[in-house]
Every structure is written in C-alpha cells, then in structure tokens.
Structure 1
Amino acid sequence: MGTGSVGREQARARLSGGGPTDASVGASPLHVLRFLAAALRAKAVVEVGTGSGESALWLLQGMVPDGVLTSVDADSAGQRAARAVLREAGVPTARTRLIAGRAVDLLPRLTEGGYDLVSVGIATTEYPRYLELGVRLLRPGGVIVFAGIQLASPDTRSALALALRDLIRVIQADENLVPVTLPTGPGLLAVAKRA
C-alpha cells in the first residue's frame, strides 16, 4: 500500500470517525467544535484560521451533510496544504470555500446573519473586532467560539491579555450575548447570540 493511500485513509478516518488518535467521544477543543456544529445543525460555518485543515474536518463532521464551511486565513501556502487534506479526506469541493487574506478585511464581505457558527482559532490582539465581525455574521441563536483562550494568563500586561480583557468587557456589556468558558485544551470561549 502506497504512502498516498495511507494518508487518504487517515484523512477519511479523521472525517468519519473522530481523528486518527482521538476517540470519537472526548473533550478536546475539536470535539467541542464538532458538537457545536451538530447541536446547531450548522449549514453555514465560518472558520478564522485554516491551519492544517484538521479543525475544518471536525467542523464538517458536525455540520449537516450539505453544509458549507468558509475558512479564512492569511497564509495561502497553509491553505493549499489544508485543501489537500480536505481532498484526501474525500470532502467535496462544493462543501468548502477557502479564502486567503486577512479575516478583518474579508469578514465584512460575508453575508450578514447568514451563518450558524463562527470559529476563531487564532490568537489576536483584535479579539473585540473579531467579536463584532463574527456576531454580525451570526443568525439569531448562532454561536461564535474563540479557541486558545487562557483566561488566567500569567502575563497580565501583554497586548494579548489586554485584548482578552477588552473582549470579556464587551461581551459582559451586551445583553444579547450569552457566554461560557470551557476549560478544554488551551481553553474555549463560546458566545451565543440571542437576537
């Protein structure tokens, strides 16, 4: 069996079974993303930070079968690699839109109120801006998730820690937002939009 077919089998296993090394029941951030996509019966999802394509596979696994994932990342080379992972997993090209560019520039171009779930998988000093842009994209009842949120950061004066505090302040001031922090992996902050 060639290396390519092993890669395809592993990619398919990731999409259909829960990951090559992860059990299908677990509490990793990827499990949570898949769960949220399934619970929301997500048909349209935006992912900020394509990475290796692994989180896209988990999101797609939770979404409805004809759902479309839009993934935005400034790293076009990384997106090419993710596209190959998705292709190896047998994901139809019609189920994904990979867009290269800065999310803060591209998210305003997406349909307002047209998405069930927005996943922000990058660490950024622009957390409040991503919240604003993401909430604008969500339908009522939709959820925005910030991954890698360390609420108890040892460096409380870093630009990232200040941005996180600003994010929390903005969320707490908005009665239409319902937040929850999940201590899974490096931490998740999920925020539901009431109306």
Structure 2
Amino acid sequence: MGEHTANARFADEVSVEPDYITRARAHALELGAAPVSAAVGSQISVIAAASNALNIVEIGTGAGVSGLWLMRGAPRATLTTIDSEPEHLSAARQAFIDAKIPPARARFITGRASSVLPRMNEASYDVVLVDADPEAVIEYVEHGLRLVRPGGTVLVPRVLAGGGVSDPVRRDPTTVAYRSLIQETQASLAVIGALSIVGEGLLQLTTLRDYSS
C-alpha cells in the first residue's frame, strides 16, 4: 500500500460521524443517492464553520447527508437545497427533522439546478456546494461563483471521479469535466483553489475579496 493510499485510508477510518448523519447515510444508500463520505463531510463542515456561514446553497440534495454536515458546521445558517428527485428531497426533509433542525433553517426546492440557479441572487451566499449532474459541473460552479459573496466558497465533492482524473487515458465526459474544472480553477486569478484527495476528493474555491476600496 502506497503512502497516499495509507494516509487516505487512515483519514477515512478516523472520521467520526454523528449518529443522525449515519442514519441519513443508510437511507441514502437504500435510495441509491450516493452520499458524500464522512471524511469529505467533516471537511465541508469545517469550511462552513470557518466561513461563519449564514446562507448556504446545495446543488444536489441526495438524501440530506451533505446538508446535515454543512449545518453541523453552521447551525445558524439557512440552507437552500436543490434536487430534481422528489423522493430524495422527502428523505432529506425527514433527516433534517430527525436531526432537530428547525424547519425555517432549510428550504427544499424540487427542480433542475440549471433552471433554478439563474433566478437566485448573486453575491448573496457564503457557501455553495455542487454535487449534481457531473457533466454539467462547470456550469454549476460558474453559477456558484456568481452566487457567493466576495470571500465565499464553492465546494465540489467527488471531483477526483473515482481516480479517473489522474488517468490521462480516461476521456469520458464526467472525467473530462472534472479534470477541466480542476485545471481551469487552479490557473484562475479570481479564486484561491485547493484540492483535497481525502475520501472521494473535494475541490475548494474561495473567491477573492476586493480590498481596493
């Protein structure tokens, strides 16, 4: 086992998940909703906490696992979560009830993100998580960067595409989209980007503040 593999395995094993998120994870797996790992969940929770997030957008609700992690880090935040699957949204609502998150803290929107996001106010959110429609990830990240305030952060889990992005032979649309996203944002002067290889991978993009005024 290589050093990177051993480190990643250790990080996965030591990640501690609250019971209410573990229950939501089990339900997500039953629905085939593919929740984020506990290792990635703990990272997005820390980022939400460090951002003092009060307004969060989640693109791709799943069954509520990533939303619960975000709210764990930012319990005073209001989460707007978007998904095209009513069954997933229903499961997420129940998961939030089980976690005793006040109903006013979460807004569940049924619909495709490509239709919902253009209607949302720009520079109004602290954190945007993008976890839906991998082939449209670049479009969704562009929306996310428009929606976050200066100094806000866009998070993209699963960005390593199961190891595909590091394999130059892989040219399927999902892998190409994630690979392009990583390369373009790392070269961008508009954001500070970092790529975590823990779990399924997490791309973190924080927009730059304007200190000129």
Q: TM-score range by the shorter chain?
A: 0.7 to 0.9
Q: Secondary structure at the match of 1:50?
A: coil
> Contact (CA 8 Å) 1:142, 1:193: kept in 2 or not?
yes
Higher mean Cα deviation, 120-129 or 130-139?
A: 120-129
Give the Cα separation in 2 of the matches to 1:27 and 1:194. 28
The answer for the alignment partner of 2:73 in structure 1 is 62
Q: Which residue of 1 aligns with 2:206?
A: 192
Question: Cα 1:146–1:102, aligned 2, differ >3 Å: closer, same or farther?
Answer: same
Misfit runs of 4+, over 6 Å: none
| Aligned residue in 2 for 1:85 | 95
Q: TM-score, normalised on structure 1?
A: 0.83
Task: Please report how far the alpha carbon of residue 44 of structure 1 lies from its aligned counterpart in structure 2 after TM superposition.
Answer: 0.4
What secondary structure does 1:175 align onto?
coil
1:132 to 139, 142, 146: 142
Alpha-carbon RMSD: 2.2
Question: Going by fraction, where is helix more abundant, 1 or 2?
Answer: 2
Query: 2:20 pairs with 14, 24, 29, which one?
Result: 14
Aligned match for 2:154, one of 125, 144, 148: 144
Which moves more between the two structures, 39-48 or 164-173?
164-173
Counterpart CA distance in 1 for 2:198 and 2:181 is 19
Report Cα offsets for 1:19-49 as digits up to 9, x if no partner. Answer: 57xxxxx970000011000000000001111
Q: TM-score, normalised by structure 2?
A: 0.76
1:180 aligned partner, one-letter code? A
1:135-174 → structure 2 map (5 Å cutoff): 135-150=145-160, 152-153=163-164, 154=167, 156-174=170-188
| Conserved? CA contact 1:178–1:194, under 8 Å | yes
> What's the CA shift for 1:168?
2.7
Matches within 5 A, 1:94-113: 94-113=104-123
Q: How many residues align?
A: 176
Which AA in structure 1 matches 2:58? E
Distance between the aligned counterparts of 2:98 and 2:137, measured in 1?
A: 33
For structure 1, the residue ranges without an aligned partner over 5 or more in a row are 1-11, 21-25
Opposite residue 134 of structure 1, the aligned amino acid is: G
Q: Is the 8 A contact 1:72 1:102 kept in 2?
A: yes
| Counterpart residue number, 1:41 | 52
Report deviation, 1:185. Answer: 0.7
* Aligned-partner Cα distance in 1 for 2:156–2:76: 25
Q: Deviations over 1:91-148 (max 9, x none)?
A: 1110000101111111111111000101112351112111110000010111101101
Instruction: Determine helix, strand or coil for the equivalent of 2:134.
Output: coil
